[in-house]
Structures are given as structure tokens and as C-alpha cells.
Amino acid sequence: GDTLLLKDKRYVRLIGVDTPELHHTEIPVQFFAEEAYNFTKGLSEGKDCELEYEGQRLDSYGRTLAYVWLPEEICLNEEIIKRGYGYVYTRFPFSKMNSFIELERRSRQDQRGMWTHSPTDARVAGIIKRYELLNEEGKKQFDLLLDKLTMGDFPLKGTE
């Protein structure tokens, strides 16, 4: 959902966009990953595009970092965020970050894409996936902590 393969065989990683993982070597398929993949593919497949670069041209995996402009002046990066198929990737600064954050805020508010279900569905699904990856000791520790939280034995920050 956030990486494209161009006709010239280059991979392009969309600047400022993160989508739920579909093909990841270390984690299972995440909530709304297939929808994000299909949206990106449907909007971009077979279309000519222009790349807009910013700062570093390649990421650590050798993918080209760019904003992808589709016909009719559509910025694919913005569309994914605006329509709720991804969220803003803030790990590395980029010039359109504030604009993308506002697009995500509106997308959540308008309950578009992954935010249709509820603003917390994606987060809860992520927690469940991480839990499933824990070993038995990790699951035991997680369950103990969760029990303390739900029984009021563990003060939450700001409630002490």
C-alpha cells in the first residue's frame, strides 16, 4: 500500500505514508492491509506518473523515496491519507508533514477508510497481532499487566 513497483523495475516508497502491512517478513497481515493495497493498486496501476523528490533519494532498502503524482494532478501519497487507507509516517521529517497530519485528522473525523470502523479498531488489531507474536512468558506478563490495569491495581499516568 505504501510501495510501488514501476515499469522500469524501481521500487518507490511513498514519502510520509504508512499503510497496514500486507507482505512483511516479520509480522502477520494487519487490519485493513488488503484494502489499502487494493486502493493503491486501483488508483495507480497502469498509469503514468511523475516522481517528486525531497532530500534523500533512497531509503535503507534501496527504494526510491518520492511523492507520486498521477494524471489530473493527484498526489497518490495525499490520496491514501485523505481516504483513510494509511496514516502519516512521522518517523522521518518531510516538508508536507503538517498538511498530511491535517488530512489524517479529517479522515479520522469523517470516518473514511480504516477509520470507518472506529478510530481505535486499527490500534486494537495491532495490539492483538503483537500479542500473538509473544512467547508464552511474554503473554503471561502482558496478561498480568492487563489484569492490574483493569482491576485498578496499577495507576495510570495522570490518575495518581
Q: Could you confirm whether 63 is annotated as catalytic? A: yes
Query: Looking at residues 126-148, what average pLDDT do you find?
Result: 80
pLDDT digits (tens, 9 = 90+) for 6-27: 999 999 999 999 888 776 666 6
Rg over alpha carbons for the chain, rounded to the nearest Å, is: 18
Burial 18-39 (b: 16+ CB within 10 A, else e): bbbbbeeeeeeebbbbebbbeb
pLDDT digits (tens, 9 = 90+) for 67-101: 999 999 999 999 999 999 998 998 889 999 999 99
The number of CA neighbours under 13 Å toward the Cβ of 30 is 24
pTM of the predicted protein model: 0.70
pLDDT at position 160 is 46
Q: Could you confirm whether 91 is annotated as catalytic? A: no
d(CA 127, CA 101): 23
Q: Could you confirm whether 10 is annotated as catalytic? A: no
Catalytic residue among 13, 106, 108, 112: 13
Query: Looking at residues 134-140, what average pLDDT do you find?
Result: 87
Report CA 57 to chain centroid distance, whole Å: 20
Catalytic residue among 63, 106, 108, 112: 63
Q: Give SS3 for 67.
A: strand
